[in-house]
Amino acid sequence: MSTDLTVQEQQAFHAPAPAVFDPHKFEVMARIANIMAGSKLVPECLQGKPDDCFLVTEQADRWGMSPFAVAQCASVVKGKLLFEGKLVTAVVNASSRLQGGLRFTFEGTGQSRAVICSGTLKGETEPRIYRIEIAKAQAVAGNSTLWKTDPEQQSCYFAARFWARRHLPEVMLGVYGPDEYQGEAPAEMKNITPATESRPAAPPDALVEVTATDGEVFMLPPGPAKLKLKELINELADGEDFELLWNANKDLIKSDPVLKEAMKERRDEFFPPQNEQQADLLGAGGK
């Protein structure tokens, strides 16, 4: 069955009006943010920063969760507010549009071992599935110590985020995890924004452009951009789409071994090995 949202599904979902547009709720959230900023029990990156605490409080309101509980799973990386995978997974499982919660299974061994995240939306009988090899997810996430000590658990959090981005986008709007933002994760919940004088000329959090075969352009941080491009590679329908995607994103593909390998697999699927026209598409001899 199709995993895209139908017109009926989109019309059936009506997001509540944001609390920031309600004067009374806005005032309450501001008071909560001030209390949070004055606490020594919230992460260091939020202490003394009522404006940042307000962002956490507003996000908690959208999720229908305690802002203080959400704050315990928040961090700041290079000026971006991020949320831990366990929190995001809990939010997805609590969604009223999901029946029974997300399920995780594993298959394969070694470098081929993969996590499969599945969930069934209300009104449907078949689960929607997201699958990714653990090694590939870790390559995007970077060298976090959490991935080294418990890669399967971290891969579940990773898969839950990307399952939700595709099937419950209203839950994930603007939400990223520390381990996917530029492939970096803070060792502890603290502000690691580099000092102004130490920043390189090019902003480290510059967005990366990814162009789909239909011409749609996505501007994303490097980690999510690579995941989006990997998704587009998996969705290629034929050789014509392959060439369109390659020509539009070749620099990013060439720079990442995972993306390059994924394109090689699709190239071999669409073009016979003896087709010399495609032999050097991804490098000398396709190597």
Q: Convert the pLDDT of each residue in 92-142 to its tens digit.
A: 999 888 998 999 999 998 889 999 999 999 999 999 999 999 988 888 776
Which residue type, as a one-letter code, is found at position 48?
G
State whether the Cα torsion 253-254-255-260 is positive or negative: positive
Extended beta strands in the chain, E state: 74-77, 80-83, 98-107, 114-121, 128-133, 208-211, 217-220
* Reported confidence tier of residue 76, pLDDT bands at 50, 70, 90: confident
Q: Which of 156, 25, 163, 170 is nearest to 96 (CA)?
A: 170
Query: Is position 12 within any domain?
Result: no
Task: Read off the CATH number of the domain in which 159 is found.
Answer: 3.30.160
Q: What is the pLDDT of residues 184-232, one digit of tens each?
A: 433 333 444 444 444 343 344 457 888 888 777 777 778 878 888 888 9
Q: Tell me, what's the pLDDT at 286?
A: 43
pLDDT over threshold 60, residue 2: no
Q: Which domain holds residue 259?
A: 208-286
Query: Is position 176 within any domain?
Result: yes
In the listed set 72, 95, 112, which residue is the last one of a domain according to the structure? 72
CB 88 within 8 A of CB 159: no
Query: Is position 139 within any domain?
Result: yes
Query: Is position 146 within any domain?
Result: yes
> Cβ-count burial of 123 within 10 angstroms (0-12 exposed, 13-18 middle, 19+ buried)?
exposed
CB 282 within 8 A of CB 263: yes
What kind and span of H or E run contains 247? helix 239-255
93 and 66 part of one domain:
no
Query: Is position 113 within any domain?
Result: yes
Q: Tell me, what's the pLDDT at 180?
A: 60
135 and 214 part of one domain:
no
| Region 38-56 average pLDDT | 92
98 and 133 part of one domain:
yes
Number of domains in the chain: 3
Q: Tell me, what's the pLDDT at 12?
A: 42
Query: Is position 273 within any domain?
Result: yes
| Tokens encoding 128 | 């929607």
β-strands 98-107, 114-121 pairing: antiparallel
Query: Is position 276 within any domain?
Result: yes
Angle 226-6-129 from CA coordinates, rounded to 5°: 50
Query: Is position 11 within any domain?
Result: no
Q: Tell me, what's the pLDDT at 8?
A: 42
